[in-house]
Structure formats: C-alpha cells, structure tokens
C-alpha cells in the first residue's frame, strides 16, 4: 500500500512545516490550492518551492485540483457541506480528472504530500480529493505540523 500524505500549514512556521515533511520522508509536495498565494510568510508558490528545494523536496502545483472560488467562499462561511458539493462537481471536469491521474501517478513514483491551508483535513478539500482518487493501492496519512512555538 502506497501512502499519500496530506498536510495543512495553518498555524505553522515554514521551518516546522518543512521539518514535518522531512520527518515523514516526503520527496514531493503537491500543492492543490487553486490560488497558491498566502499572507503567511514562506507559503506562496515561489517562496515555498524555493524553501523546499533548499531541503531537497520537490514542488508541484496542480491548480485544477484546487477549490473554485464559490467553494472557498462556502468553506470560509463554515458551510463544509456546500463546499464539498461544489468541489465534487468541479472534480468531474476533464482537466481535473487529468490532474487526479497525475496526482495518483506522482504518489506512486515518490513519497508525496497534498498541501492546502487548513490544519484539520476534515475541514479541507484535500480529504475529499483523496476519497475521489479511486485508487485501491493508496492510503491517506495526515501530517500535522506542531503549532508555532512547539516545534
């Protein structure tokens, strides 16, 4: 059984985040944010990719696996059920299906982790994405970054 890790950076520092990936043996971080920007230092696409590269971890962005705007708005409003419905419909699109196949292949090629913001995978689209991969040979393992000040 191949593990596909998931991780959120909510409440994390960039160093603790990358330490967590290293300890798990992750070789590639797969960013599944529709918009790979963050107000949190170090977590926007370019800075994150550079910090990961310094520690020998690859970065891959699969934008079509991100939550569309209306789904993100539903999540911010606390309506996870609505976000889920919107996201499931979004994943039916051919380009999202193609990126899901790429993701499954990536996980089989090297230890990989799905990235999004939320610390709790149950509140995030990355858990829904994993459920929809339809790959019996993959198992999810959720990583949790120690909160800032507790590394």
Q: DSSP string spanning 90-140?
A: HHTSHHHHHHHHHHHHHHHHS-EEEEES-SSGGGSHHHHHHHHT--TTEEE
Domain-located, residue 110: yes
What is the domain range of residue 125? 2-143
Domain-located, residue 149: no
Domain-located, residue 148: no
Between CA 25 and CA 107 the distance in angstroms is 12
Domain-located, residue 22: yes
Domains in the chain, number:
1
pLDDT at 67: 96
Of 120, 109, 111, give the one whose Cα is nearest residue 7: 120
pLDDT at 103: 95
- Enumerate residue ranges in the chain where pLDDT < 50: 151
pLDDT at 151: 45
Domain-located, residue 116: yes
CA atoms within 13 A on the CB side of 39: 1
Q: Tell me the whole-structure pTM to 2 decimals.
A: 0.93
pLDDT at 149: 59
Domain-located, residue 78: yes
User: 80: domain CATH number?
Assistant: 3.40.1010
Domain-located, residue 27: yes
Domain-located, residue 123: yes
């Amino acid at each position: 059984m191949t593990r596909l890790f998931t991780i959120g950076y909510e409440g994390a520092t960039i160093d603790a985040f990358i330490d967590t990936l290293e300890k798990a043996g992750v070789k590639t971080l797969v960013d599944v944010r529709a918009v790979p920007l963050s107000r949190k230092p170090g977590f926007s696409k370019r800075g994150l990719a550079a910090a990961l590269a310094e520690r020998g971890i690859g970065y891959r962005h699969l934008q079509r696996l991100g939550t569309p705007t209306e789904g993100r708005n539903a999540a911010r409003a606390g309506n996870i059920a609505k976000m889920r419905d919107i996201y499931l419909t979004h994943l039916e699109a051919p380009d999202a299906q193609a990126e899901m196949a790429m993701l499954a292949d990536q996980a089989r090629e090297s230890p990989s982790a799905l990235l999004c913001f939320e610390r709790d995978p149950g509140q995030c689209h990355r858990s829904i994405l994993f459920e929809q991969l339809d790959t019996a040979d993959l198992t999810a393992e959720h990583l949790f970054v120690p909160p800032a000040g507790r590394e």
